[in-house]
Amino acid sequence: MAEVRQIQVTFDCADPKKVALFWCEVLGYVVPPPPPGFDSWDAFEQTLPPGQHGSVFACVDPHGVGPRLFFQRVPEGKVVKNRVHLDVRVGTGLVGAERLAALEAECARLIPLGATRFELLEADGVNESCLVMQDIEGNEFCLD
């Protein structure tokens, strides 16, 4: 069996660059360098057919640990809950009030970036608390 070495998480969205830059802020990711021979992504994009301008964007973990995030423009809007979502691990190892405080602090940081608070799922004896959020296009993610 082949060994998986890397994964990429792909988001369908209306505005790839806007959503990618949101996730850069959330995760501390960066925009990768443009392809060889181009001094910027804008210069590279000018070589594409006009209908493809703004159709894709990506961001990467500057330390090379986390997956690459890829954003692609699609014509349809989001209709139902995501089947796959990201968990942003801000409360790892914390429990009770200390965990809730960490989740709330991160929520407060993300709302000015365009995130929306959706639902607090409180600890139930099996699972610790997590906070369901939405990104700038309504895609769910959890502060965990």
pLDDT digits (tens, 9 = 90+) for 7-59: 899 999 999 999 999 999 999 999 999 989 999 988 988 898 888 988 999 99
**What is the spatial distance between Cα 22 and Cα 6, in angstroms, rounded to a whole number?**
22
Q: Where are the domains of the chain?
A: 8-73, 86-143
* pLDDT classification of 138: cutoffs 50, 70, 90: very high
* 13-30 core/surface letters (b: 16 or more CB in 10 A; e: else): bbebbbbbbbbbebbebe
* 8-73 maps to CATH 3.30.720: yes
For 10-24, the pLDDT digits (tens) are 999 999 999 999 999
Residue 6 has a pLDDT of 81
71 token code pair: 């954003």
48 token code pair: 């594409």
For 112-136, the pLDDT digits (tens) are 999 999 999 998 888 899 999 999 9
Q: Which contiguous run of DSSP H or E holds residue 24? A: helix 16-27
Residue 142's φ and ψ, nearest 5 degrees, are -115, 140
- Following CA atoms 87, 93, 98, 101 in sequence, which dihedral angle do they give, to the nearest 10 degrees? -20
Answer yes or no: is pLDDT of 2 > 80: no
